[in-house]
Structure formats: structure tokens, C-alpha cells
Amino acid sequence: MSAPEVEVRRSRRRTRTVSAYRKEGRVVVLIPDRFTRAEEAEWVATMLGRLERSERRRHRGDDELQRRAVELAAQYLPPGTRATSVRWVGTMTTRWGSCTAATGEIRLSDRLRRTPAWVVDYVLLHELAHLVEPNHSRAFWALVDAYPRAERAKGFLEGLALGDAGKSGDSADGTDAGETEA
């Protein structure tokens, strides 16, 4: 695979920060004007690496999701807990995820692709726990809350739901998207 075309833009107003983004098939790197050629080369390499890692995180596929589900189930749920399929879906607009316990199918909203991996893990574990406890009983929440970042992920999702509701003009109250449940 060939290296992407890189356009470096220097700015006198930019004093310390460096940023990069993709535009029309190339990578644009914004740097302070005072940088030497060596500093420029170093920052271009750094920013290409950061951009690549960021894009990899955003493009987690169904296979990666399935692999992660196996790991989470083994770590937090009773032996033998296994989903028959785990996949991303773009049609889910009011929930973060869903589980059909009868068939073992788990679906996660594409909206989660922009979240940190630990948030995706929380939603995935929430849906996997439905394979053990199909409702939101105390036993269910005990399974989910064993995840160390459960409370943090719930808060993250609440904030994301409120932000999404604000963009669309809808109220987050009374919808699954505004609740902490996955």
C-alpha cells in the first residue's frame, strides 16, 4: 500500500498545535510556521500514525465485534454464554443495542462506532447479559455492573444521547437513547 499524498500547511497564527485531516484523497497537516523541516517531518509522521489509528478504531467491523463479544462473555458472564451473531446496524436510532435472547443475535447501533472502545464494550456486555438474564432484573444489573467502567460508560452514553437529541431538536426524555440502558 502506498503512502497517502500529504499537504503541509504552515500558519503564522498557529503557535503550538498540530492537526491533521483527510480531504479529497490526501492528508492535510496543519503546523506552526516556525517549525524546522525536521520538526515538520517528525510531526507529519506522528499525525499520519494518529490519523490511521483513529480511523482503525472507527472502522471496527463485525468480525472484531464478534471476537470482542467472546472475550467479554468469557471474562464477565457464566461459562457457555455466547451470541450466535454480533453485528453493527445502521437502522437503530433510539437504542444503543439490542439482543434477541431466543436466537442469540446481538445488534449494536452504528452510532457507537464513534465512541471509545470501553463504551462499545459496555453496550456489548449489556446485550450479552441478556442471554443470561432476559430482563433488567437485579441479577442482570449485577452481571453488567461487574464491568469496571460500567458507570462511566452509562454517563458517557447519557451525555451522547442528550447531545444527539439537542442536534435533532428532540427531547432525550422518554426515549431509549436518553436512558442509560443499552
Average pLDDT taken over every residue of the chain: 86
In the predicted structure, residue 179 carries a pLDDT above the cut 60: no
Q: What cell does 36 get?
A: 524546522
State the CATH number of the domain containing residue 124: 3.30.2010.10
103-141 burial: b if 16+ Cβ within 10 Å, else e: ebbbbbbebbeebeeebbbbbbbbbbbbbbbeeeeeebe
pLDDT of residue 175: 30
Residues 111 and 149 in one domain: yes
Cα radius of gyration rounded to whole Å, the chain: 21
Same domain, 54 and 81: no
Residues 74 and 163 occupy one common structural domain:
yes
Decide if 156 contacts 149 (C-beta within 8 A): no
Residues 120 and 167 in one domain: yes
Domain boundary among 40, 58, 76: 58
- 101-158 per-position pLDDT tens digit: 999 999 999 889 889 999 999 999 999 999 999 999 999 999 999 999 999 999 999 9
99 and 167 housed in the same domain: yes
Is 48 found in the same domain as 26?
Answer: yes
**Helix, strand, coil fractions of the chain, as percent rounded to 5:** 45, 20, 35
Which of 38, 58, 78 terminates a domain? The answer is 58
* Residue-range definition of the domain harbouring residue 172: 62-178
- On whether both 108 and 152 belong to a single domain, the answer is yes
Residues 88 and 117 in one domain: yes
In this structure, are 75 and 128 located in the same domain? yes
82 pLDDT above the threshold of 90: yes
Total count of domains within the chain:
2
